[in-house]
């Protein structure tokens, strides 16, 4: 009997740039390609084609994307470009005419078709048994849960609506089904992401769907409540972390869920500035005083809530008085985690035409000042945790040192992966593994991180 020779799988290399939302796009694309019989390549040399998922939010991000395309072409030669910068196909082809195909953000079918054209699949989904889980580019124990695409805001510094379109919310039952599936497969922490999490469902009039025998609305509060009912296979409540939350009034309703332990006590809110005049120029709500009141109220309900945000310094028209207003506001707000960015003109953004552009040297000086202030606030808040016992999720376990001591790295509930601080542990048991929840006695702290040891109660 003649044997059938199965050809080698075609391999796709991937470079994924930009925000977590782009990472989710990459996961979906690679999941579709794997179902078509492709394998992932860990390097350029082994790839039949390389996919570069670009970021186009800032000019510096565009340059990073172009550098990544250039590197992929130099190392492999067969490159497909997708993502937010895909809308600038002419600029990409002008610099790299040898690119095989270019598609825009979240155009999954077009990307898959481009890969099929560049490297026709040699195996179908029936050659290998494909596990009934999506491919993940994050560690097994945490996952991003994208609930919508696009944005209805018209912030003067942002071009996201032109890149990703208006708000397009997913069905609530589809989101919850994905979340349930992820938790059942080993996810211990869900990171809810979108361009505007608070606006979830506005575009579909907060339509109701049946879930577990009862109706739920496509609304952030309903979503949060249902996610808080999930349990891991071993009975734990997974951490559920809300990102990109605009401070609409209904955000107040999720704080009690955090106090009850159903949601991780963490909010990522893109305030961007505090000065009323700068916020108006940004075309963002100017209610900074009200926000301070709400922060105080949230902390009275859930004392351990951590609030992170990002701010733009050197926005056109920002005066020294505006910047000092921001520093004073931050001093009072005492946010737990803060990122700052120097304003960059972005092609197509309305802010480019505003008067009063701030000189680069002034931007640098203001950036240094805001980072110094927020680092000091962070250090003070973390120092106050010394002596406390906090829940921590383990991200990585090291190898024993020369004394046989094994260290580990984890995160507290105040720390989202990749963007916030970490918790460094000493003398952990050999049985510890990524994804474990442990109670940690905090022994020390610096400006961004905590240091400690697993409590005896956790080891009992």
Please state the residue numbers annotated as binding site for [4Fe-4S] cluster. 19, 55, 84, 151, 155, 158
The 8-class DSSP code of residue 84 comes to G
Coil, strand or helix at 5: coil
User: Distances in Å between the alpha carbon of 94 and those of 8, 55, 88, 111, 242?
Assistant: 35, 18, 10, 20, 40
Tell me the β-bridge partners of 49: 12
Nearest residue to 182 (alpha-carbon basis) of 238, 229, 143: 143
End-to-end Cα, the chain, rounded Å: 61
For residue 337, report the phi and psi dihedrals to the nearest 5 degrees.
Answer: -135, 130
452 vs 460: CA distance, rounded Å = 17
Written as six digits, the tokens of 379 are 């250090």
340: left (phi over 0), alpha (psi -120 to 50) or beta: beta
Angle between helices 20-35 and 108-118 (to 10 degrees): 50
Tell me the β-bridge partners of 338: 309
Nearest residue to 106 (alpha-carbon basis) of 155, 168, 58: 168
272 vs 277: CA distance, rounded Å = 13
Instruction: List all residues 6 or more positions away from 238 whose beta carbon is below 8 Å from its beta carbon.
Output: 183, 187, 188, 189, 190, 230, 231, 232
- Which segments are annotated as binding site? 19, 55, 84, 151, 155, 158
Neighbouring CB atoms inside 10 A of 261's CB total 12
Side-chain-facing half-sphere of 319: CA atoms under 13 Å: 6
Coil, strand or helix at 240: strand
How deeply is 448 buried, as exposed, middle or buried, from its count of CB atoms within 10 A (0-12, 13-18, 19+)?
middle
What pairing do the DSSP bridges indicate for beta strands 142-146 and 148-149?
A: unpaired
């Amino acid at each position: 009997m003649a044997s059938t020779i199965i050809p080698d799988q075609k391999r796709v290399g991937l470079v994924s740039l930009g925000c977590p939302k782009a990472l989710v796009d990459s996961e979906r694309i690679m999941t579709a390609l794997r179902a078509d019989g492709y394998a992932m390549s860990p390097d350029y040399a082994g790839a039949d084609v390389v996919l570069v998922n670009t970021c186009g939010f800032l000019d510096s991000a565009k340059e990073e994307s172009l550098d990544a395309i250039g590197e992929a072409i130099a190392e492999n030669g067969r490159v497909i470009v997708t993502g937010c910068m895909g809308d600038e196909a002419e600029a990409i082809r002008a610099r790299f005419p040898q690119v095989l195909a270019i598609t825009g953000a979240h155009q999954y079918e077009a990307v898959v078709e481009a890969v099929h054209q560049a490297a026709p699949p040699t195996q179908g989904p029936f050659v290998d048994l494909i596990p009934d889980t999506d491919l993940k580019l994050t560690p097994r124990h945490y996952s991003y849960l994208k609930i919508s695409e696009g944005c209805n805001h018209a912030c003067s510094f942002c071009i996201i609506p032109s890149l990703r379109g208006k708000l397009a919310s997913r069905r609530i039952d589809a989101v919850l089904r994905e979340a349930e599936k992820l938790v059942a497969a080993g996810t211990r922490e869900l990171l809810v992401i979108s361009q505007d999490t608070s606006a979830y469902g506005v575009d579909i009039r907060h339509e109701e769907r049946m879930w577990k025998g009862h109706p739920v609305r496509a609304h952030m509060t309903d979503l949060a409540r249902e996610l808080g009912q999930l349990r891991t296979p071993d009975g734990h409540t997974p951490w559920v972390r809300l990102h990109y939350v605009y401070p609409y009034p209904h955000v107040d309703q999720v704080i009690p869920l955090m106090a009850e332990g159903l949601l991780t006590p963490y909010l990522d809110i893109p305030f961007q500035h505090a000065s009323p005049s700068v916020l108006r120029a940004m075309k963002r709500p100017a209610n900074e005083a009200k926000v301070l009141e709400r922060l105080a109220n949230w902390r009275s309900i859930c004392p351990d809530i951590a609030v992170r945000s990002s701010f733009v310094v050197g926005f056109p028209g920002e005066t020294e008085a505006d910047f000092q207003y921001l520093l004073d506001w931050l001093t009072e707000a005492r946010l737990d985690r803060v990122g700052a960015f120097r304003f960059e003109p972005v092609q197509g953004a309305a802010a480019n035409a505003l008067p009063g552009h701030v000189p680069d040297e002034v931007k640098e000086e203001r950036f240094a000042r805001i980072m110094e202030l927020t680092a000091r606030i962070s250090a003070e808040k973390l120092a106050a945790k010394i002596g406390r016992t906090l829940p921590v999720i383990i991200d990585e376990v090291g190898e024993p040192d020369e004394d046989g001591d094994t260290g580990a790295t984890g995160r507290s509930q105040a720390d989202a992966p990749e963007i916030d601080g970490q918790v460094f542990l000493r003398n952990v048991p050999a049985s510890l593994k990524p994804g474990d929840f442990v109670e940690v006695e905090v022994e020390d702290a610096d400006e961004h991180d905590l240091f400690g040891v697993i409590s005896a109660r956790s080891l009992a």
